[in-house]
Amino acid sequence: MTQYVLMNPGPINVSAAVRAALNKEDLCHRESEYFDLQDSVRRKLLDAFQLDKKDHAAVLVTGSGTAAMEAAFSSCISPAGRMLVIKNGVYGERITKICAAHGIPCDCIEAGWTERPDMDAVRSKLKTGKYEVLAAVHHETTTGLINPVKELAIAAREAKVPFVLDTISGLAGEELELGANGPDMAVCTANKCVQGLPGVGFILAKRSMLARMATFPPRTLYLHVPNYFEHQEKRSTPFTPAVQIMYALDVALDELMAETLRGRIARYKMAAKILREGFERLGLAYLVKPEWRSNTITTLKLPSGRTYDQLHDGLKARGYVIYAGQGPLAKEAFRVANMGLISEKDLRAFEGHLRAVIG
């Protein structure tokens, strides 16, 4: 099978070393060797994102990003609590679906899918004292729009409302304050900008938030964050983790630290710049304003007379996998992501292939 250049927003192209990690020894997850691996991954997550073990902890959850997301958002609120959700894309909407599935009442601050939320509306809602959690998505993968996370964190702190952030497609791709002034809980995954493989998500949480959540009754058996946290703190695991994916994440974190977080973000920024210069020469139109665009996803209007399937199939024949628009944007837009290990040569060659396919 051809090794495609993956320009979808995860799973991404990984290094040979990350892929080779899958071939390490078979391992029982109740032996000390597994707990050494689990401890190593949890420590490297704090180191890679410059967090202090005194104040923060990493919690690993086996499953796709949505498993970590559902764990975080269903575990962060008391039985009587109400959530305020920022909704300007598919993933903000997914938070509301998680609330619905778990019987958590929520209200939304809605914005158009290429717009940012009205911060005055957020602040005045938070001031009502009705909310126990503010929930938002850092990088709306739907469009490649970056939400105003810093302002949201300030608004939440001023209202003394915990802030829980889905940064699944943002972490290691965008600048993000994660320390004392950051979100109380950040939800992430191994197989986007962290450059690991799909199957493990993780949560970077303030210990104060983890202690607060431990007082709430579990809403689910598998996805209760305090259960994972308690077990992982004492070198245990409640269920069978994706052992091989954890091996790969351990290597991916070494690579991230070798590249440095700043270096990784700068590489993605440069990759997006290379691609966007090409899109401009091709006369393609963006959906998101330049100042709100992420470093890793570009949403473009489909050129007139071309369907997504034509672009996708033409590019796939040339070795590149692009991504469709989502929801209401499916018919009018397509997405090009630059997460993962993509060579500069492949990035630069993309313009010519896209030109040929557009015709």
Ligand X SMILES: *Cc1c(COP(=O)(O)O)cnc(C)c1O
Return d(Cα 224, Cα 246) in angstroms, integer. Answer: 20
Task: Quickly count: other Cβ atoms within 10 Å of residue 218's Cβ.
Answer: 14
- 340 closest CA partner among 324, 357, 321, 326: 321
Q: Is residue 91 a contact residue for ligand X (CB under 6 A)?
A: yes
- CB of residue 346 vs ligand X: minimum separation in angstroms? 22
Half-sphere exposure at residue 181, Cβ-oriented, CA atoms within 13 angstroms: 8
d(CA 5, CA 13): 7
Residue 278 interacts with ligand X (CB under 6 A): yes or no: no
Total residues contacting ligand X by CB under 6 A comes to 13
At its nearest, how many Å lie between ligand X and the CB of residue 73?
A: 11
When the beta carbons of 95 and 256 are compared against ligand X, the nearer one is 95
CB of 31 to ligand X, least distance (A): 28
CA distance 214 to 205: 13
Smallest gap, in angstroms, from Cβ of residue 255 to ligand X?
A: 20
Q: What is the smallest separation between the CB atom of 25 and ligand X, expressed in angstroms?
A: 27
Pattern 124-153, ligand X, x by CB under 6 A? -------------x---x------------
Residue 194 touching ligand X (CB under 6 A): no
Judged by beta carbon, residue 135 or residue 159, the one nearer ligand X is 135
Asked if 169 touches ligand X (CB under 6 A), the answer is: yes
Cα end-to-end distance, the chain, whole Å: 27
Residue 244 binds ligand X, judged by CB under 6 A: no
Under a CB-based contact definition with an 8 Å cutoff, are residues 147 and 86 in contact? Answer: yes
Of 159 and 194, nearer to ligand X (C-beta) is 194
What is the Cα–Cα distance from 279 to 286, expressed in whole angstroms?
9
Contact 189, 248 (CB under 8 A): no
- The answer to whether residue 65 forms part of the interface with ligand X (CB under 6 A) is yes
Identify which of residues 90 and 126 has a Cβ nearer to ligand X in the complex: 90
> Taking phi first (over 0 means left), then psi (-120 to 50 degrees means alpha), and beta for anything else, what does residue 212 get?
alpha
Residue nearest to ligand X (CB): 65
Which parts of this chain interact with ligand X (CB under 6 A)? Answer: 9-10, 64-66, 69, 91, 137, 141, 166, 168-169, 189
